[in-house]
Structure formats: structure tokens, C-alpha cells
Structure 1
Amino acid sequence: MASPQSPQQPQNMGSTNVIFRTDLRFDPSYLKTTPGMVKAAVIVLNLLGFICIQSSAFWSNSHGVYFNVVALGSLWFSGILLLLYLVHFVEKYHNFMWLKVEMLGCGVVTFLYLIASTIVVAFGSAAYSAAGFFGYLAMVLYGFDAFLKARAIKSGEIAQGSFVVTKQTHVTTPPALP
């Protein structure tokens, strides 16, 4: 038995191209993205926690010193990354594994802030408790940023640049009937 011929469906074929601009330029629009807002927020929280410890009478205590090391290290980490994104350095050197480095760095900082904030809150000083509060907030944001980076890595996203998707539809016509 011959089956009736069904019309062939159009086939969608396409390709994805990634466009990178390799010139360095200042572009503040990164601050309007979710990762940009998270970086700006953790910079502010790092500074607030550092100021709380430094304004305390116990600023030279080992608990406060450890918290300040974590806060300032995190401040430098986030500040440098924010600057690199703002001037499109990340896009220029797109072959480097930026998302993996950020995910690992944010994960480490999350763990360090958990320890530092718990230590200063347990100390009992009001300034230390305020610093611990800002540290816990920073810990949550760094954990969220690490989650965003892990999800971006899993979905195959790039750190900075743009995808251009082109689709072509190919239609095959059946041969003419005799």
C-alpha cells in the first residue's frame, strides 16, 4: 500500500554568531543590568561594614581585623570586576573564563562573609553587630551572584558581548506530478 504523500514541512536552519567589539570604551549601561546592580550593591555593603568596624572602639580586635580583611578584599574584587565590565575589558578579552572566575570568587567570598559576620555578631558590640548585618547582606548578594554565574555557565552564555541569531527557512517543493 502506498501512503499518500504529505506536504513536507519547512525546515528552519540557522546559526548563532557572537559579536565582540574589541575596543575599550566606558559604558555605564552595565550598571542597569542585574549583575551590575549586584556588584554596585556589594561594593556599598563592603564599605558600610568596613566603616562600622573602623568606627568601633574595638577596631584593632582580631575579630574586627578579620572582618575588615574580608570586606576590603571583597571590595577590591568587586570594584575591579565592575571597572573591567564598565570599560568592556571583559568583552575585549572574551577568551578568558570570566564567568567561572566570578562564580568561584563569589562563592569563596560568600563563605568568608558567613564566617566573618558570625564572628563579629557574636562579639556583642553594637558597631560589630551592624557590620555583621551588612556582612550578611553582602553574603546573600554574593551567593546570588554566584548562582547567576553558575546558571549563565550552564546555559552557555558569555560574560559580555552580544549574540546575533540568524534563521533561514528552507522549503523543499515536491516534484511535479506527471
Structure 2
Amino acid sequence: MADPGFHTTSTSTNHNTNIRFDSGYVKTLPGMIKITQIVLNLLGFICIEVSGYSFHSRGSWFNTVAMGGFWFTGIMLAFYLFHVLEKFYKIPWLKIELVFCALWTLFYLLAACLAATFGLEAYAAASFFGFCAMIAYGYDAYLKFRAVQAGRLEQGVKVVSKEITSPVTA
């Protein structure tokens, strides 16, 4: 029995470990950010590829960043859509995404600056999409940082219940 006058808080986490499709995720802010990132990665990649100078080191670096972002973000989007993250809830998904988004923000800053200074129109277009992707990954990193600080789950339900005990008078 708890001591009189003390408050106790208990937290329980509910995970539904069934893999299921949830199309509602794409209507949430994190879902829309992921779709935006995928589109920007693809558009930047296409701009470099059609330039005729995709073999240049600047283009290769930009395409490496774009395709790395495309594949990681696409896989994470699929994981969220099918609740794979909830099935493997012991993996620190938010921290992994935080590190990835922070790195890709820096990588896109470098890749977009290098593309902008190359002097071709296709590279200039790619740099525009690269700077937009940098902003999207930076904002996503900020959201992930706030979620990690608040102790939120990537998916699932965290139930916090308070039990207030008061002294018994006889």
C-alpha cells in the first residue's frame, strides 16, 4: 500500500504487433513530410541525370545523397504505413530517424551548394530541389528531436495513469 498523501504515476505502453496497412499516416504531418522528401529526392536526382554531366563528382555526390534519402525515407514510409515500427518497438526508431535527418540536412546543404556553383541549368534546378529537401529534412529532424525529448513513441499508445492516495480518517 502506498504511503498516505503520496501520488504515484504509472505508465504503460500498448503495442499492437500485428502488421496492418494504415493509409491515414500519409494525412499526418510526418507522413506528408516523408512524401515531400521522397518527391524532392527524386526530382533532384532526375535533374542531375538528364544534365549530361551526371558523371562529374558534384553530380555523383548529389545523386548519392538523393538516392540515399529516397531509399531510407521510402523504406521508413513503408514501415509507418504497415506499422512495422510498432512490431519492432524495442528498436529506437525515433533516434535513428533523428540522426539520419540531421545528417541528410548537412549532406543536402553541401550537395546543393556544390550543384549551385557548377554553372549548368540542370544543376541549378537540382540545387533548388536540394535546398528544399534540406529544409524538409531539417524540419523533420527538429520534429524528431522534440519527440525524443518528450519521450513519445513512433507508433503505439502510451497510457499514463495517476493514482492519488490520500490519508484515511477514522
Fold shared per TM-score above 0.5 = yes
Deviation at 1:171, TM superposition (A): 5.0
Q: Which runs of 5+ in 1 are unaligned?
A: 1-9
**1:48-127 equivalences in 2 (<5 Å):** 48-127=43-122
Residue identity over aligned pairs, in percent, reads 46
- C-alpha distance in structure 2 between counterparts of 1:156 and 1:168, whole Å: 21
Deviation at 1:14, TM superposition (A): 4.4
Deviation at 1:11, TM superposition (A): 7.1
Count of equivalent residues: 167
2:160 pairs with one of 143, 162, 165: 165
String of CA shifts for 1:133-167, please: whole Å, max 9, x gaps: 00001011111111111111111111111122334
- C-alpha distance in structure 1 between counterparts of 2:42 and 2:153, whole Å: 29
- C-alpha distance in structure 1 between counterparts of 2:100 and 2:9, whole Å: 36
Aligned to 1:36: 31
Matched to 1:112, the amino acid is F
- Greater Rg over alpha carbons, structure: 1
Partner SS state of residue 82, structure 1: helix
String of CA shifts for 1:5-47, please: whole Å, max 9, x gaps: xxxxx97654332110011111111112221111111000001
Q: Does 1:148 align with 2:143?
A: yes
What CA RMSD, in Å, does the superposition of the two structures yield over aligned residues?
A: 1.8
Q: Does 1:135 align with 2:130?
A: yes
Matched to 2:31, the amino acid is G
